[in-house]
Structure 1
Amino acid sequence: MKYILATLTCLSCITSLFAQEYSISGVVKSESDNSTFPGASVVLLSPKDSTTVKGTVTDLDGKFKISDIQKGEYILQANFVGFHAYKQQIAITKDTNLGDILLVENTKVLDAVQISAPAVAAMQKGDTSEFSAKAYKTAPDASSQELIEKLPGIATEDGKLQANGEDIQVILVDGKPFFGGDVKTALQNLPADVVASVQIFDKKSDKAALSGFDDGNQQKTINIITKPSRRVGQFGKSNAGVGTNGTYRAGASVNFFNNDRRVTVTGLSNNINTTRYTADPTNIGDGLDQNGLIKTNNIGINFGDDIGDKLEVNASYQFSHQNREENQQKLRDYTITSDSGQIYDENSYYNRTAWEHRFRGKIEYKHDEQTTFLMRPVISLKHQNRINNFDGKTTSNGAPINETENTAIGNFQDYDYNNSLFFSKKFDKQGRTLTTHLHTGWHTNEDFSGRQAENIYYAEEDSVDLLNQETTRDRSALSWRVQTSYTEPVGKHGMMELEYQIGDKINDSNKLTYELATEEQKVLDTALSNTFQSQYMQQQIEVGYQFNKNKLRLQVEGEYQMTDMRNDQVFPEKFHQSRVFISLLPSARVDYQFNDNQRVQFNYNTWTQEPSIGQLQSVIDNSNPLHIQTGNPDLDQSFHHWARTRFWSNDMETGKSMYASVSTSFATNLIRSATMIATEKTEVADGVEIDNGTRFTRPINVDGYYKIHSYFSYGEPVELLQSNFRVNGGYTFMQNPGVVNEQISNTISSNYRLGFSINSNISERLDFNLSTRSNFRRVENSLRPSIDNRFFYQTTRFKYRWVFGDGFVYRADLKHQLNTGLAEGYDNTSFLLNMSAGKKFLKDDKAEISINVYDLFAQNNNVSRQFSELYVEDRESTVLERYFMLTFTYNIRHFSAGTTEEDFKDI
């Protein structure tokens, strides 16, 4: 018997020995300056057939760790775009730290244990697409936005930069925040010629990044990795110009980089509608606001530094002073239960002067490898003075119903503070973590307005109503939320999470409206005054499980949510209301990678949304006497469902890429408008009557909302044209419910989109982009089925830049806009052409003098259509008109000693 036991013990030891697993770690750095590479790919390959055994991506400090490795021989390979791949034969017999792995930028003879590999132009690392900047040719003075717009799947839609149909929300530079969440400012302040590569991925929330358990909160993110030899120096651009019609502009953006310490200063002053600094003043839509005439003065500062080995600080501050003057015409076709409808026609004048200070920060302290503290404060201060005059008229079959002449002045101050504080502890057992998040918020708003109006109501006996009133509204909000989560590994490939969250939001609103009987006598109008408080306390318990093995990632979560909503009105009458909502919120995520080039992902999520205090407060708003509004304290929270399936296919060898997605969403108890259109004098609240044709709107809860959205994009290089071709499109169907005169009004819209673009990749001296985008939309309403609104938008744009001869440069930006199907007088076709001709001079062509023209054909216009469950609206606004400008531009380039401009261009 003892021999049998001895044999079994021996076999057990041998089995344990062979089953033992190890880990390997290290840091990926640049051989030239020892800087680290965040986002580098590190994989273990089988020496027999070079298949991938395991892999990972380096963190923001260039560190990596691969765990659960069986004993044996492997080939370790490290890749980073723009650098030669590193390969090393290794034997795994214990936990191993390889130390520094150095990547080289040019061909070198490597050690005998290393194997030379060709440079990588682009690669797919899990859910991260990475592109080499060297593979996309841009002008020497181009911004990083011009470079990024050349990448597969990237497009600018309605002035917003998108990746695969999703808005870019975050810009990182070498893994660090850059100008907070201001995407346009960040990209215009970083030249393309300092970029080594660009990463595009879905950034996880801070809580998910710290705990390792994905909570589904993601932001589409671009991480710009700078060239290692360009991380010490000063670079940027400045320009100044004067033009016809009193136009002017002056701006500068200067970056001071010293490895981890980075400071960027930007400033702008102009009266040509440019609200943020832009590297190319000829670009249409790059920082240009089309609504009204705008004067802007702003300054911004971004700071980032690593203080020692444990503390990282990032902060941005922006100040803006802006004056906007605008004339606008709008035409609304209201939905009512007859084919006649109602038409509301309005002409308005708006003048606003605003000041804003905004600060964003990130402070991260790593006490050790297992303990992290993170803080993200956000502070904003706003002040605004405004004048708003409008004339409005309602008709039916051409006959007048009512009209108003309205004049208002006002001002407000708005102060906001929000802060998120995280503590994360990783225990010795891998996958076991404790993460705590404390969020605090404070908001206050003080608003004053004075209004005079003359209102005429047409009936058998016409009536005239004069309005002369002053209104003050004070609002404040205080919120806090504490969230604690604990994760525990389950087996080799699983993880469980248990989370508890509690939070409270308290909103106060005090509105007082006075009728001015005389210049000195004020009478409080109790029907238009109200003091109200809402409190929204919520508790959540969540259990989740995630599984991650080889090509499959699976995650399911279930959340129990209890909400206590309390409403208290103090004036004019006291009442108290309290309700409790119980919700079960499931979510799921599945991610499967077929191979290195193809991947599919499914997401399902649910959430609730509470009503705002403005929707709850039952006080009359008569700022437009022809459209009275109020709140509804009986509103419930809404419940939302959302699901999406996405597919990626990227062939990095051929440059072909494809992306497709389908998403659907629906909601119950959605907060929408219920509108009554009076046919006779009607009392809608104590002491408040409305006349024939006047609209009275209050929010209610309705069911019936759902939406289906699809998107696709495909791109590939066209060698014959030395360009990249891209096609994208999609379809969106939406049913939006509302109530009109106590009848359900479903607005059903179908939107078809298709776009094409060709981006040149010829040389730094010749660059062009040709794109076209078409939208066909059909809108129907269940109350007026005979009305079928079909309209078509098409935008075609051609951007061209040519540097020729001895530093001569010609730029053109032509935009053709076609709108059809709008109301009479709103359909239009226009050509907007911006051009510049200039001469570069000084050493390395750092300076340029140019003549610029904006809107050469004088056809600029701003026409748009909007629709809701209540109406379809066409509007047209004042636009900036043609001007000529003489501009001087200077490019700042001063890098660390020992590196010439030619060396810089070769990288």
Structure 2
Amino acid sequence: MKKLLLLLFLLTTAMQAYAQGVAITGTVQSATGNAGLPGASVLLTNAAAVTTGLVTDMEGNFRFDNVVPGKYTVEVKYLGFKPLSRIVQVQNETVNLGQLKLEEETTTIKEVQVVGRAPLGQQKGDTAQYNAKAFKTTPDASAEDLVTKMPGVTIQDGKIQAQGEDVKQVLVDGKRFFGDDADAALRNLPAEVIESVQVFDKKSDQAEFSGVDDGNREKTINIVTKEESRKGQFGKVAAGYGTDNRYMVGASVNFFNNDRRLTVTGLTNNINMFDFSVGEAPGGGMRGRRGGWGGGTPDGINVTNTIGLNYSDQWGEKLKVSGNYSFYQRENDNNRTSVRDYVNSELNQVDMEDRTSNNTSGNHRFRMRLEYTINENNRLLITPSINARQSRSSSFTLGQSFDDNGPLNESRNSNTSDDGSYDLNNNIYFSHRFGKPGRTISASLNTTYSASEGDSYQEYSITDFLDETKSETRDQYTRLDRNGTSWRSNVTYTEPITEKSRVEVEYNIGNRINDSDRRTYDFVEQTGTYSQLNEPQSNTFRSEYLTQSVETGYNYNSEKIRLQLQAEYQQATLNNDQVFPTAYNLGRTFTSVLPSAELEYKISKDKNLRIDYRSDTDAPSVDELQDVLDISNPLQVRQGNPDLEQEAENRLALRYRAFNPETNKVFFAFLMGSMTQNYITNSSTTGPFTLSNGEEYGQGARFIRPVNLDGYWNVRSFFNYGQPLNFIKTNLNLNGSVGYSRIPGMIDEEINYANTTNLRAGIGLSSNISKKIDFNISTNSSYNFVDNTLTTTSVNNNYFNQSTSLRLNWIFWKGLVYRTELNHQYNSGLSESLDNNFTLWNMSISKKVFKKQLGEISLSVNDLLKQNVSVQRDVTAQYVEDVQSSVLQRYFMLTFSYNIRNFGGKLPDDLNNGGGPRGDWGGRHRD
């Protein structure tokens, strides 16, 4: 390994001595101003019709490196502007095209006063770009309110999704904003500062740096801001107080000065707000999207205090810096009721639990990103991060088990714990491009260290109604210390073989070491101390997972087709070493051949098809490997399995996108399937049984241990269709999905397959009338068929869920604003003992005040009908469980909020009319 790295270093040094990069540079600007246009598409086409593309940075600059001499066409496109093209003759020196001025594109319809309807967007390869002007929102809307009006962008289970996948990153003018927290980024930008929105699958940092596509993608949204919004201060502050001592104080303020951008956020409240939003309705009750599908709000009653900082800047010409820090402190009180029906229970065993808990937690998180351009051919990326967490919790659980003959047992369980942990992570990546276009070498090193410690106390009692000898009471103290170290490194070399293709070779090596020391002590009444060591529940354990792999690949890229083929040979060694209570060592070596492929076909400039195939392996966790008894739930005893093997997964995905710029119709389809060998699942044994330490458990108890089983399948499809309905000035969104999962599990030494089929359909209408009225109407229905192969009776529970919602924001008269949000949840097929159906109704009446109507006084009510609940279902290969948790219900609140808008002495166009264009919402307006 050392010799290989030395050889690669010498090659890099030698080649750099004579590497010569010829570049084409320029700046894209608006013809009516001097500021650059970020996110503009720049295409470079050679005489052989091979096209290379990129987008401009925040200042409108672009640069093509390693361009060989010849004749080229440079074409520039930007939404809302006329395209521009230039012929360039490249010789042996850098070509600077200077300022490329784009003229705005408008369409005039004879004598009608309305300037042509704003184009919805366009499809650029695999990037969907939407024009923010085409989607009308109220003056107080956030970026989240805006993007969820766009085709294919929805909120599912409290998360932003685009084209059927969770959004992992949000960029602002091509730069990271709030790190990896996509929700925070969307909630801290007002919609009025946005020019356009791009939705695409972002390549990994390594692929972007080296130019070598590794196939790793993350669904990403890039927000391009308006020119006049890139210098100034904007944000929102708010404070409110209500009935039952409910309160909220929050702020989000952005300081933008071109490249230098600072955002400060803060929030304290007891109304279940987890973060502050510039678009948040006063009182906080209008944002019900952060919960699960069965309820509109987070579980339990939460008191939250948070502060956040986000910073990004360009230090000189070579260094880009960004970072963010966040702290949150949260106290959660929750009452939880669950009903669990077991598979393969001859007498239909049912477990019921009532749990009351209190948890207080705090978290510090710091992220930083340094991008250093050493020169035209060498780049360095460093991304350190630090996390520190502390939590204290207490809970009491009353559990009962029944079957057809009556009660089996009852358990009472009291727990308290105090835990702390931290982790340090750093990633260093270096990339070098040689003089020959396409010849590159890159290397990376990722290191992680984590540590945690905790103390917990548990008192429990079990009453066995069938056999009193199996009843017991126990009082225990547990100390747990863990630490983990991991590192991973790779070296990649690429070599062009033709103008359109190249090959690559990659070497990877990584190691992960986890140490765990767990000691459990029983309470001794004679001494009044926890001094009796419980050996079966104690363990000292080390797990080491070493992987090495060699990968070869072939890449082909033309104007229509991009093809990538890769094959990886991997050798992995898993070594488990137990020191206490009994010493043993178990080592295994796995060899795998992991192929991957990706095909992208650009059918036309507005249609795109992509097919991905991936294979991967995954090692079991320390908890799954550690051979120690866990009796935190006395009727569900768990124990790890050091004999577990690594999982092997194969995935195939197909994506199709189509956009019609003439009709503004958008269609997206997604199909994904995966199968896993050696899938890590649970094996459960029904009582009565005897543990290895001689303890006996009666009927109704269960012993659970992880095992490897084959037969896991998961297939999912999704489609979205969107188009404007001009005759009623709304946007229509249709979506649907079909999913199937097959989850294996073992019950009493028999294999069960939980087969679940999910059918889902939804329709939504979002207004596009004016900036004084904004509404969304949607309904989503989901039907689930559950079939367990070991039973044909009670637990084959098919269930149906329907969620119908209406959200209205109406500025109806002289700054008076009415807001309402209705959400009706209908659930069928869940446990009868739970509250399955409810209507959540939030509303407020507000008055805008001050100059430009930047202030607002609001009276709001949360859960007017006092019906809010939280219900969810969990399906596994062992059981089907329904859970209901406590939620925040009705309260009233009076709130004052103020929008900060200071853009170099002028407001954005959206605010110049005091909160929207003149005229009633039903009258004539100008797009």
TM range (shorter): over 0.9
Measured after TM superposition, the shift of residue 283 of structure 1 is 2.7
Q: Kindly indicate whether the alpha-carbon contact (under 8 Å) linking 2:157 and 2:290 is maintained by their aligned counterparts in 1.
A: no
Distance 2:553 2:605 in 1: 28
Aligned to 1:592: 601
Give 2:375's aligned residue: 368
Q: Could you tell me the percent identity over the aligned residues?
A: 40
Aligned to 1:572: 581
- The aligned residue for residue 287 of structure 2 is 284
Question: In structure 1, how many angstroms separate the alpha carbons of the residues matched to 2:577 and 2:766?
Answer: 59
Alignment of 1:867-906 (within 5 A): 867-897=875-905
| Contact kept in structure 2, 1:23 and 1:68, CA below 8 Å | yes
Aligned counterparts of 1:495 and 1:44: Cα–Cα separation in 2: 19
* Residue 88 to residue 127, structure 1, CA distance change in 2 (3 Å): closer
Any conservation in 1 of the 2:68–2:437 contact (CA below 8 Å)? no
Q: Which has the higher contact order (CA 8 A, sep 6+)?
A: 2
Secondary structure at the aligned position of 1:357 is classed as: strand
Q: Does 1:852 align with 2:852?
A: no
1:557 maps to which of 566, 586, 597: 566
Aligned partners of 1:884 and 1:104: how far apart in 2?
A: 52
1:808 maps to which of 811, 816, 820: 816
Q: CA deviation at 1:864?
A: 1.1
Contact 1:58 1:64 in 2 (8 A): no
Paired residue for 1:672, among 681, 684, 692? Answer: 681
Distance 1:400 1:715 in 2: 54
- In structure 2, C-alpha distance between the alignment counterparts of 1:52 and 1:716, rounded to whole Å: 34
- Give the letter for the 2:39 counterpart: G
Contact 1:41-1:80 at 8 Å conserved across structures:
yes
Equivalent positions of 1:110-509 (< 5 A) are 122-278=121-277, 279-280=279-280, 281-287=284-290, 289-336=297-344, 338=346, 340-461=347-468, 463-509=470-516
Residues 842/489 of structure 1: CA separation in 2 closer, same or farther (3 Å cut): same
Q: Distance in 2 between matches of 1:432 and 1:45?
A: 20
TM-score for both structures, normalised by structure 2? 0.91
Match of 2:665 among 656, 677, 681: 656
Name the CA distance, whole Å, in 2 between partners of 1:421 and 1:67. 24
The one-letter amino acid of 1:219's match is E
Change (3 A) 1:119 1:369: farther
Alpha-carbon distance in 2 for matches of 1:255, 1:381: 26
Between the aligned partners of 2:117 and 2:163, the Cα distance in structure 1 is 29
C-alpha deviation, 1:826, in angstroms: 2.4
Partner of 1:114: none
Structure 1 unaligned spans of 5+: 1-21, 109-116
Aligned to 1:708: 715
Cα distance change, pair 476–606 in 1 and its aligned pair in 2 (3 A): same
Change (3 A) 1:903 1:687: closer
After TM superposition, give the deviation of residue 33 of structure 1 in Å: 5.9
Q: Could you tell me how far apart the structure 2 residues matched to 1:70 and 1:373 are?
A: 28
The alignment partner of 1:785 has SS state of: coil
Match in the other structure for 2:748: 741
C-alpha distance in 2, partners of 1:183/1:198?
14
Q: Which residue of 1 aligns with 2:29?
A: 29
TM-superposed CA distance for 1:89, in Å, is 5.1
- Distance across 2 between alignment mates of 1:379 and 1:39: 32
Residue 87 of structure 2 aligns to which amino acid in structure 1? I
d(CA) in 2 for partners of 1:802, 1:398: 59
Partner of 2:87: 90
What is the deviation of 1:693?
2.1
Contact 1:457 1:464 in 2 (8 A): yes
Shift of 1:828: 2.5
Root mean square deviation of aligned Cα: 2.4
The 3 A distance-change label for structure 1 pair 799 and 350 is same
Per the alignment, do residues 484 and 461 of structure 1 end up closer, same or farther by CA in structure 2, a change over 3 Å counting?
same
Letter of the aligned partner of 1:538 in structure 2?
T
Separation in 2, partners of 1:235, 1:428: 46
* Alignment deviations for residues 285-312 of structure 1 (CA, whole Å, 9 cap, x no partner): 3456420000000000000110000011
Cα distance change, pair 247–389 in 1 and its aligned pair in 2 (3 A): same
Q: 1:62-99, CA deviations, whole angstroms, 9 ceiling, x for partnerless residues? A: 3143998997796x5422224x2242453647574312
The answer on whether the counterparts of 2:39 and 2:173 sit within 8 Å (CA) in structure 1 is no
Q: Could you report, residue by residue, the CA deviation over 1:737-765 in whole angstroms, capped at 9, with x for unpaired residues?
A: 00000000111100000000001111000
Distance in structure 2 (CA, Å) of the matches to 1:601 and 1:277: 37
Name the CA distance, whole Å, in 2 between partners of 1:321 and 1:737.
39
1: CA distance, partners of 2:684 / 2:500: 55
Q: 1:904 to 1:515 in 2, by over 3 A?
A: same
Deviations 1:310-362 (A, max 9, x none): 01110010000100000010000011252x22100000001001111011111
Distance in 1 (alpha carbons) for counterparts of 2:90 and 2:394: 76
Written as runs of structure 1 = structure 2, the 5 A alignment for 1:753-902 is 753-787=760-794, 788-826=796-834, 828-897=836-905
Query: 1:621 pairs with 630, 638, 642, which one?
Result: 630
**Alpha-carbon distance in 2 for matches of 1:637, 1:121:** 47
How much does 1:36 deviate?
Answer: 3.8
Q: Give the letter aligned to residue 78 of structure 2.
A: F
Gaps of 5+ in 2: 1-21, 108-115, 292-296, 918-926
Take 2:656 and 2:106, find their aligned partners in 1: how far apart are those partners? Answer: 37
Question: What are the superposed Cα offsets for residues 794-827 of structure 1, whole Å, 9 maximum, x if unpaired?
Answer: 0011110111221111111110100010111225
The 1:521/1:72 distance shift into structure 2, 3 A limit, reads closer
Q: CA deviation at 1:46?
A: 12
Q: 638-647 vs 519-528, which deviates more? A: 519-528
Distance 1:479 1:472 in 2: 24
Q: CA deviation at 1:609?
A: 0.5
- Which stretch shifts more, 394-403 or 711-720? 394-403
- How many residue pairs match? The answer is 871
Conserved in 2, the CA contact under 8 Å of 1:809 and 1:839? yes
Shift of the 428–246 alpha-carbon distance from structure 1 to 2, 3 Å rule, reads: same
CA distance in 1, matches of 2:906, 2:836: 57
1:367 is paired with a residue of what secondary structure? Answer: strand
Task: Say if 2:45 and 2:72, in contact at 8 Å, map to a contact too.
Answer: no
Residues 417-439 of structure 1: per-residue CA shift (max 9 Å, x gap)? 11111011111111111111100
CA spacing shift, 1:302–1:244, aligned 2, 3 Å? same
* Alignment check: 8 A CA contact 2:44 2:72 kept: no
Partner residue of 1:80?
78
Contact 1:336 1:342 in 2 (8 A): no
How far apart are residue 464 of structure 1 and its match? 2.5
Task: Name the CA distance, whole Å, in 2 between partners of 1:72 and 1:161.
Answer: 44
2:621 to 607, 612, 616: 612
* CA–CA separation in structure 1 for the residues paired with 2:186 and 2:121: 21
Q: Partner residue of 2:6?
A: none
- Paired AA for residue 604 in structure 1: Y
Secondary structure at the aligned position of 2:630 is classed as coil
- 2:685 maps to a residue whose letter is M
- After superposition, give the CA deviation of every residue in 1:387-437 in whole Å (9 maximum; x if it has no partner): 011000111115121210111111100101111110111111111111111
